[in-house]
Structure formats: C-alpha cells, structure tokens
Amino acid sequence: MLHRIETSQLELGMFIDDIEASWLESPFWRSRLVLTREEQIEALVAKDIQWVTIDDNKGKGLPSSREPRANAAKSQNSEKRGHIAQPARAVKRRAPSHSQPYIPPPGEQRFTRLTPRERAAEVRKAKGAIKRSRTAVMNLFQDARLGNAVKSKKMATLIEQIANSVAIDPTIILNIARLKTKDEYTYLHSVAVSALMINLARKLRFPEAQIPDIGMAGLLHDVGKISIPDSILLKPGKLDEQEWTTVRLHPQKGHEILLASDGVCDMALEVCLRHHEKMDGTGYPGRLDGDDLSLITRMASICDVYDAITSQRPYNKPQSASQALKTMQSCSGHFDQLILRDFAESLGIVPIGTLVRMDRAELAVVIGESPSDYAAPIVRTFRALDSDLPIVPQDIDTGRKRSRKVISIEDPDDWGFADWSTVSADLLAEEDLT
C-alpha cells in the first residue's frame, strides 16, 4: 500500500515510490528506490524535499513512533515546503549525467493491479473504446476533408473513456491500439498518441483539469494529414523530395483546419503545428530549437514518434517497445531526454541491452519484450551471482504465466562491466543454447 509521508519520517529499508520534486530537484536519478544508507535520507532533507510516497509492499512500513529526524539543512526557501511538483516549464534542460535513463523493472508501475477477471473486463472496455475511437476519428477526418469545421466537443466523451482506461492500466488500451493495420494507422495512431500523452501528463503531475485538453491535443495532432494524397501517405517505398515537401506541410494544414473550428483548445493548436519540431532545431515547420519548444510540444514529439515506430506502416516493420526506446534514446538531438526518461518510466518499458538481476540470483541482459505485454522483457541470463561465473545463456520471456521474474535493473559499473556497451552487444549476438 502507498503512504505519503514527510521526509523527516523516513527510515532505512523503506521503498520510495515517488518523490515530490522535479527530476532536476531530486538528488537521485531514479524516482523509485529502497533506502539503504543514511546519506540517501540526508540528501532528500538537504534538498528541502518535504514529501515522498512509500510502498510498504516493497519495503519497511509506516514510520515508528520515534521522534522525526532533525532537518540537516533547513532551506531559506521554507515557503516551498509542502509544494507538490508541477509540470516543468519550457526551459533549457541539461541531459542527465548518467549514460542511460533509469527505467523501473516490471511490476513497479503506478497502475492498478488487476485480477485476471478484472483485467479481462478492462480489455473488453478498451476494445470497445478503440472501436468507437476509430469510427469517431474517421468521421472527424472526413469532415475536415470535406472542408467542414472540426467538432472537437463531440470527442469529449471519447477522451474521457481513453483517460479512464489509461488511469487503470495504460498497457491495456495501448497493447490493443498497437494491433492497428496499415489502413487503420492514421486513425488509431491519433488514439494511441492521445492515450500516451494522457499517461505521460499524469506522470509529470499535470493538473487533472488539463487532462481533457491534453488528450484532445493528441487526438487532433495529425488532422493535417488529410491534405496528403493516399498515393503518398500509403506509399510502401521511399518518398522522393517533392513527396517529402508535401508531407512536411501537414502541420500547417492541420493548424489552419483547427483555427477555423470552434472550441479547439490552444494546446491542441500548438501540438498540431509543432509536434515535428526537434530539440536541435532540425524539425519542421519552424526549425525551432529546444529553448522555444513548450513542455507539451516536447511530450507530443515523443508520443508521436514512439507510436509511429512501434506500429505497422506501409514502409517499415514495427519495432518492439524496448527497441523503439533504445532508438529514441540514441537520437539525443531530437527529443528532450529527461521527458523521454519519464515517458519510459510511465510505461514500464525496459530498453534492449539493459542489465537486470533475476529471481534466481543471476544476471541477464534484456533482448526484447514479451509478445503479450510490452512492459514484460525477454531476457538472456549469462552469469550466476553465487559463483560469479558465466552460465549457459537461457532466454526467458517474463511475460508468460509462472515465468521467472526480473528483480531489479542494475548499474553495470556496480558489477565491474567497465565497457557494458561492448559486453551487451556480444551477449545480444549469442545464440540461445537451451
């Protein structure tokens, strides 16, 4: 069970599920951790962070009746105490100093834990929402194609259904949306981006009152694609320069359509126009750099590309979620890497090449994801911890029933892997010998 307590009440052995501070304010590069050293608690107090959430299912429970620890470093800005972090402003942000973002192991998500019966019921609801969404977005695009104004208010109920599904467990609706065919891509891509943006917004602690507008922004972001002929949109081969010029006009076209419609929120207008901009200024249509990109635009860029490269499209095969994340992490100039870290954590995705500890005291490397659940990795074991000796590699799908489990994500440096990129590449090239 989750409990919100003051940092002055923290004790060793507690599992911190959430720190009420932004990534830049937090003394740690991971948001969930077990407290094993007094220095960790002192670091939180020194940063003047007053509130955290602990999970007594994963660590020590509520604090004892002892006196709260003295504040080691009372901040001069005491008026900030009790402050719950709000979404970051669109300011220039430095990339984290560590080489890879922290991604929590499966099972550490903030989603509701469902029984098999409850999950089956939610799957049925999500399938119904997807079916209604597809029809509604097709009609919306058809209206725009005919020159009619977009009736965004009609989509409010749909956004609410998507938001409710995401609140329970976003993996349900997103796993279903990933199954879209090439012909459905344009429509269900909008639904998936809406769900992804809602989930990320909640991770970033946007006020719940803003969630409908954020969901609407995701749903309407690609309406300008109605201006692209199907011969280009569905072309299986590489586009020529003239065709690319046509494609790059769709943000402005969509923006014009939404401007001419009543009741479209400013957030949707901005996301429609700016979702293809990049942090390094090489995007379109405005070639804006990171300093000029709002938080909502940075979020939309990540959600849009993630769903695009994990979907079946006319010109490429879909990447797995873990491979997509690895690809996006390597594009340092394209995305805000700190928000990308939040995005990955919000979905529980574990990148390919990540070092993990297994439940039988073995080390393994993530080599993919379970076909049944993108948040459950497939791993390749390679070393026994009790003997510290290599073992015959075995591939394990952690998404299967009664399968072995990932216990934690490990820092390669802690295990003496000075050149983990080379080691992991060699392990990924191994054959499964089982």
Residues in the chain: 434
What pLDDT does 285 receive?
A: 96
Structure confidence by residue, pLDDT tens digits, 90-145:
323 233 333 333 334 443 444 556 777 887 888 898 888 888 888 899 998 888 88
Return the closest-CA partner of residue 189 out of 223, 154, 142: 223
Is the confidence at residue 77, as pLDDT, over 60?
no
CA distance 71 to 425: 46
- Whether residue 83 has pLDDT greater than 80: no
Is residue 66 over pLDDT 70?
no
Distance separating alpha carbons of residues 128 and 136, to the nearest angstrom: 12
Cα separation, 190 vs 22, in Å, equals 29
At 249-289, the pLDDT tens digits run 999 999 999 999 988 999 999 999 999 999 999 999 999 99
Task: Compute CA distances 327 → 117, 178, 208, 280, whole Å.
Answer: 36, 18, 31, 17
pLDDT reported for residue 104: 40
Structure confidence at residue 31 (pLDDT): 62
- Dist CA 274 CA 284 (whole Å): 7
The pLDDT assigned to 259 comes to 93
Query: Tell me, what's the pLDDT at 350?
Result: 79
Q: Other CB atoms closer than 10 Å to residue 428's CB: what's the count?
A: 14
Distance CA 415, CA 349 (A): 23
Tell me how far apart the alpha carbons of residues 335 and 176 are, in angstroms, rounded to a whole number: 26
Q: How far apart are CA 352 and CA 378, in angstroms?
A: 9
Q: Which pLDDT does position 87 carry in this prediction?
A: 41
Looking at residue 8, what DSSP letter applies? G
DSSP 143: H
pLDDT of residue 64: 60
What pLDDT is recorded for position 86? 36
Ranges 8-22, 41-55, 65-79, 273-287: which has the least confidence: 65-79
- Residue 120: the pLDDT is 84
* Distances from the Cα of 427 to the Cα of 100, 169, 316, angstroms: 18, 33, 26
pLDDT tens digits along 136-194: 999 988 888 888 888 888 888 889 999 999 988 887 888 788 777 767 888 899 999 99
pLDDT at 100: 37
Those residues with Cβ within 8 angstroms of residue 279's Cβ, 6 or more apart along the chain or in another chain: 289, 290, 293, 298, 333, 334, 335, 336
Share of the chain above pLDDT 90, in %: 33
| Average pLDDT of the chain, as a whole number | 81
For the chain, which domains are there?
2-75 (no CATH), 116-347 (1.10.3210.10), 355-428 (no CATH)
**More confidently predicted of 163 and 433:** 163
**Confidence label for 23 from pLDDT (cuts 50, 70 and 90):** low
| pLDDT at 284 (0 to 100) | 96
Cis preceding linkage at 285, omega within 30: yes
